[in-house]
Amino acid sequence: RRQAMSGKDSATHSKAPQQQKIDTSQISRMKLSITLLSTISCASAFSPVHHGGSRAFVTKLDAQRQPIMAGNWKMNPATEDDAIKLASDLTTLLGDETCPMDEENEFCTEVVIFPPHPFISRVKDKVEDIGITVGAQSVFFEDSGAYTGSVSTNMVKSVGCEYVLCGHSERRTLFNDDDEAINRKVKKVLDDGMRVVLCVGETREEYDLDIKNAVCAMQLSKDLFGVTKEQMKDVVIAYEPVWAIGTGLVCDAKAANEVHAYLRTVLSDLYDDDVAQSVRIQYGGSVTPESVDELMAQPEIDGCLVGGASLVAEKFGRIINFQKA
């Protein structure tokens, strides 16, 4: 079922005449592209398979993976009562093929929700009996100390979290989480016995420059540095093109599938084919009930990380109960 995929990820730039003025944004794009393309040759994880001069990215094994649907509530809803109602409403909308309803099926759909920290305990109390898993939206990589406003892995684990989001674009851009910090968080979460949803994705500028593969590969390689092959069983990757998050824009399903296939070649080079084909890769970015079926029909897309639509129980319920091809 897993088909060989092909992709192209090269950035070309025309050289301006010596006397022509180049605006600031143009210079910025050129510097960004040069930086990324110069580093890409340093990592074997980015090496494509060549066929007659074209770049083809291939997946080598035929694998079936358990679907995973996750709802990232972000800084919503407004009150604990609203959070409990949302969680309660969701428990009534699980279909027959979700793990809470069909846990003996190894390919049932896993359901995870990420409430804000103050609501985690009460939301878990509401959903745990039916089998929905709860995770934390972020953690700090130290166990304790003078880190005002932060929470540790032990804290969120003690209130029932099984997953932690790492590397979400809003954490990268609004809170300045760089790849070194994200890597430390990833390793801390895994070392403390929880699972990671690691988010990677390109900005609109990087997408327009046609360097999305290079950007995602750089993030993946840096964020997984020091993570062992054995630990990868507890890692989920979420491909979230930044320009699609919260904008209403959805990356074309086939284009998203090509990026997922490319990420598997990166994982294959970082680890091996078994890891590349067993790791689940979600798509995230304005996923809706209208777009989910086409996304989930793609062979390399194993689930969705859902933002705004996860705040409406009926919408998230429809996404969870996607129509299988």
Three-state secondary structure call for residue 67: coil
Q: Which of 17-21, 180-184, 293-297, 321-325 has the lowest mean pLDDT?
A: 17-21
| Residue-averaged pLDDT of the chain | 84
> Can you tell me the distance from the alpha carbon of 273 to that of 195, in angstroms, rounded to the nearest whole number?
21
What is the number of other CB atoms lying within 10 angstroms of the CB of residue 159?
15
Confirm whether 117 is a catalytic residue.
Answer: no
* pLDDT tops 90 at residue 27: no
Q: Which of 196, 215, 206, 189 is nearest to 281 (CA)?
A: 196
pLDDT digits (tens, 9 = 90+) for 267-276: 999 999 999 9
Query: Which pLDDT belongs to residue 244?
Result: 87
Where are any strands of DSSP class E within the chain?
49-51, 54-56, 68-72, 110-114, 133-136, 163-166, 195-200, 235-239, 281-284, 303-306
Q: Which residue has the higher pLDDT, 10 or 107?
A: 107
Catalytic residue among 110, 168, 206, 258: 168
* pLDDT tops 70 at residue 9: no
Q: Which of 239, 135, 237 is nearest to 194 (CA)?
A: 135
Q: Which sign does the torsion angle of CA 122, 128, 130, 134 carry?
A: positive
> Can you tell me the distance from the alpha carbon of 152 to that of 1, in angstroms, rounded to the nearest whole number?
41
Query: Which pLDDT belongs to residue 63?
Result: 64
Query: Which pLDDT belongs to residue 55?
Result: 35
* pLDDT tops 70 at residue 54: no
Model confidence at 185, pLDDT cuts 50, 70, 90, reads very high
> Can you tell me the distance from the alpha carbon of 43 to that of 291, in angstroms, rounded to the nearest whole number?
35
In sequence order, the 6+-apart residues with CB closer than 8 A to the CB of 237 are 197, 198, 200, 220, 263, 267, 279, 280, 281, 282
* pLDDT tops 90 at residue 24: no
Confirm whether 300 is a catalytic residue.
Answer: no
Query: Which pLDDT belongs to residue 248?
Result: 76
Q: What are phi and psi of 303, to 5 degrees?
A: 165, -175
Query: Which pLDDT belongs to residue 197?
Result: 98
Q: Which of 32-46, 131-145, 301-315 has the lowest mean pLDDT?
A: 32-46
pLDDT digits (tens, 9 = 90+) for 154-179: 999 999 999 999 999 999 999 999 99
Catalytic residue among 170, 206, 240, 258: 240
Query: Which pLDDT belongs to residue 68?
Result: 97
Three-state secondary structure call for residue 88: helix
* pLDDT tops 50 at residue 199: yes
> Does residue 224 contact residue 186 with C-beta atoms inside 8 Å?
yes
| Tokens (6 digits) for 54 | 């074209």
pLDDT digits (tens, 9 = 90+) for 98-146: 886 666 788 899 999 999 999 999 999 999 998 899 999 999 999 999 9
Q: Which residue has the higher pLDDT, 289 or 38?
A: 289
Query: Which pLDDT belongs to residue 103?
Result: 66
* pLDDT tops 60 at residue 294: yes
